[in-house]
Structure 1
Amino acid sequence: MTRYRNLALFLTLATLWGSAFVAISAGLSHIPPVLFAALRYDIAGVLMFGYAVYAVDHWRPRGQAEWTQVAVGAVLLIAAYHAFLFVGQQHTTAAAAAILVSLSPVLSSGFARLLVPSDALSPVGVVGVFVGLLGVAVIVQPDPSNLLTTDAVAKGFVFCATAAFALGSVLTRRLDASLPIETMEAWSMLGGALVMHLVSLALGEPLEPAAWTAPEAIGALAYLSLGASAVGFLIYFDLLDRLGAVEINMVSYVAPVVTAVVGWLYLRETVDTATLAGFGLIAVGFLLVKRRAIRQEFGHVRSRSSSD
């Protein structure tokens, strides 16, 4: 029964996070990108803060290490990731964005190799990182004679978002802080929202009054804040305890499938052959980088299954 529950929650999380890319594309028709991302985390941050106060005793950061972890999370995991992602999604499909974001676990291993010598990748792991990056090149399809096409620049922004998230993941794990993940996420969301509001003001992003009455804009903001962020992260916390980091990373490879289906149904977006090929390369890169952890995890799953 526990296995079925975990599978149901895993598929629910993949659906919430996969369809979130479609909600972003829908909302961008009405709200400027950085402001849209900031508003999302105004709401999600308050909800997550309330949950942290309820769920853990250690709901406020203490000391330099914990505040540094929150600062890194706010700037990289929330602000940089979402600002680049929302800007990039203005001119690329939701499915392409979701697939590029699925590179994050591969890039995380690459950053860990550079920043933490003890986490050095094996030669096969290094090959996996390069295979993943090749997948990005296949998706972006850069034209050497004109590298600044709108589509290439948009996908470049999404790649920057993925890199920011991967770097932030490595740095927050390496900081010597005992902050519960619920607390770190809550304060990072609130801090990241503040940073994005400041960036939005610096960019002079306008907000048309009609956006507040457009059902699509309100629905997209509500879905991203309540569904993908609040409910999604609660499921994520639960599965992280039950499955571990390796299995939960597989959400990154199921979510793009959801994105492609929902994007086709709602936005009439299609996925071209190059995007599918790039996704395949990124998935292969993940398997090469994480092969040992995956093998160990499946061994644990078999052990648990035989003991049930």
Structure 2
Amino acid sequence: MRPRHVALAVALAAVWGFNFVVMQVGLRHFPPLLYAALRFGLAAFPALLFVGRPGVAWRWVLGVAGAIGIGQFGLLLVGMKLGMPAGLASLVLQASAVFTVVFAVLLLGERLTTRRVVGLGIAFVGIFLVAVDFGLSAPLLPFLLCVGAAAAWGLGNVIQRRATPPDSLRFMVWVSALSAPPLLLLSVLVEGVPTISFELEGWLSLGYVAFISTLGGFGVWGWLLKRYDASTVAPYSLLVPVFGLTSAALFAGESVSAVDVAAGILVVSGVLYAGTRARTTPPARELASLKV
């Protein structure tokens, strides 16, 4: 990846890392499925009135809405509501990088290079260290829900890569629009008649996750997926727990140990190694690999 695109991917990881603390705040005011429905509803309207059609077949929009909108965020928020801490949730969700690479190889026929395998291995040593340091103290069900959310995100990455929407922001608006109604229906069926909170803290949380994390974040993510292989972009999601753990320590009072710091260094090193090409790569070959 080009240096400015690497910087963009790292900045996006910071936005998504802080997102876990923000969601934890929002879940104090809303049930999880209702919170997800409101998140995507706000991301879709009124933007839906101005963006035009998604520019890809509707099956791709529905696929990403099902995988990311309903699958990833529905499972993640329910898991967090059931007791998954923000820092640990940000960590477990990054298993999506592995699921993305596996799905990309199986469904898209992308090549799995030795460099990417080594880089992902280094990064996941870091994630394993953090998991051991936390002691996996969260209940089993919330943990499994977050693993399911990671798998759904990985599948959504590959579907979006296959769709190659011409405008990532417009595509995400439509994904949000198609995610909100089924999430609202699930909320009514599972959580009962919605009770809307009018406290400012809850709505500020929704504003961040709807406009900054969802529209802005997934717009940038889709833009990167359009230009690079999914297995090149996906490892940058491994930086999210570094920012997630830091945010949880600063704003939620979660402790960060020396093991966490060492693990963060491993994650960053592994991601950078997996996502960059060897110096010996000829410039012409590098240019030819870009999906413009």
TM-score, length-normalised on structure 2? 0.74
Please tell me whether residue 160 in structure 1 is matched to residue 152 in structure 2: no
Counterparts of 1:49 and 1:126 in 2: how far apart (Å)?
Answer: 40
Are the structure 2 counterparts of residues 275 and 197 from structure 1 closer, same or farther at C-alpha, using a change threshold of 3 Å?
farther
5+ residue gaps in structure 2? 288-292
* Counterpart code for 2:176: M
> 1:195 is matched with which residue: 182, 185, 194?
182
CA contact (8 A) 2:119 2:274 kept: yes
Paired residue for 1:93?
A: 85
CA contact (8 A) 1:32 1:206 kept: no
* Counterpart code for 2:200: P
Paired residue for 2:75?
A: 84
* Aligned 1:1-308 pairs, distance under 5 A: 12-46=11-45, 48-50=47-49, 52-53=51-52, 59-61=53-55, 66-90=57-81, 91-116=83-108, 118-119=109-110, 121=112, 150-174=138-162, 180-205=167-192, 207-209=194-196, 212-236=197-221, 249=234, 251-271=236-256
Are the structure 2 counterparts of residues 208 and 68 from structure 1 closer, same or farther at C-alpha, using a change threshold of 3 Å?
closer
Counterparts of 2:105 and 2:282 in 1: how far apart (Å)?
Answer: 24
Are the structure 2 counterparts of residues 48 and 107 from structure 1 closer, same or farther at C-alpha, using a change threshold of 3 Å?
farther
Counterparts of 1:61 and 1:240 in 2: how far apart (Å)?
Answer: 16
Counterparts of 1:247 and 1:51 in 2: how far apart (Å)?
Answer: 32
The RMSD of aligned alpha carbons is: 4.1
Task: Return the offset for 1:92.
Answer: 1.8
* Counterpart code for 1:27: G
5+ residue gaps in structure 1? 54-58, 142-146, 304-308
* Counterpart code for 2:158: V
Give identity over the alignment, percent: 26
Task: Return the offset for 1:38.
Answer: 0.9
Q: Which secondary structure state, in structure 2, belongs to the residue aligned with residue 103 of structure 1?
A: helix
Q: Which secondary structure state, in structure 1, belongs to the residue aligned with residue 30 of structure 2?
A: coil
Paired residue for 2:290?
A: none
Paired residue for 1:56?
A: none
Counterparts of 1:224 and 1:87 in 2: how far apart (Å)?
Answer: 16
Are the structure 2 counterparts of residues 298 and 128 from structure 1 closer, same or farther at C-alpha, using a change threshold of 3 Å?
same
TM-score, length-normalised on structure 1? 0.71
Counterparts of 2:46 and 2:263 in 1: how far apart (Å)?
Answer: 36
CA contact (8 A) 1:246 1:297 kept: no
Are the structure 2 counterparts of residues 182 and 246 from structure 1 closer, same or farther at C-alpha, using a change threshold of 3 Å?
same
CA contact (8 A) 2:101 2:231 kept: no
CA contact (8 A) 2:20 2:89 kept: yes
Counterparts of 2:227 and 2:160 in 1: how far apart (Å)?
Answer: 21
Are the structure 2 counterparts of residues 60 and 8 from structure 1 closer, same or farther at C-alpha, using a change threshold of 3 Å?
closer
User: Relative to structure 2, which stretch is displaced further, 96-105 or 264-273?
Assistant: 264-273
CA contact (8 A) 1:112 1:170 kept: yes
Task: Return the offset for 1:162.
Answer: 0.9
* Counterpart code for 1:171: I
Are the structure 2 counterparts of residues 35 and 241 from structure 1 closer, same or farther at C-alpha, using a change threshold of 3 Å?
same
Task: Return the offset for 1:258.
Answer: 2.4
CA displacement, residues 22-70 of structure 1 (integer Å, 9 cap, x when unaligned): 11111111211111011000001225535633xxxxx2456xxx11111
Q: How many residues align?
A: 281
CA displacement, residues 170-196 of structure 1 (integer Å, 9 cap, x when unaligned): 234335x76543333221111111221
Counterparts of 1:297 and 1:158 in 2: how far apart (Å)?
Answer: 38
CA contact (8 A) 1:35 1:205 kept: no
Counterparts of 2:70 and 2:62 in 1: how far apart (Å)?
Answer: 10
Counterparts of 1:280 and 1:207 in 2: how far apart (Å)?
Answer: 43
Are the structure 2 counterparts of residues 124 and 222 from structure 1 closer, same or farther at C-alpha, using a change threshold of 3 Å?
closer
Counterparts of 2:185 and 2:259 in 1: how far apart (Å)?
Answer: 37
Counterparts of 1:105 and 1:165 in 2: how far apart (Å)?
Answer: 9
Q: Which secondary structure state, in structure 2, belongs to the residue aligned with residue 119 of structure 1?
A: coil
CA contact (8 A) 1:140 1:155 kept: no
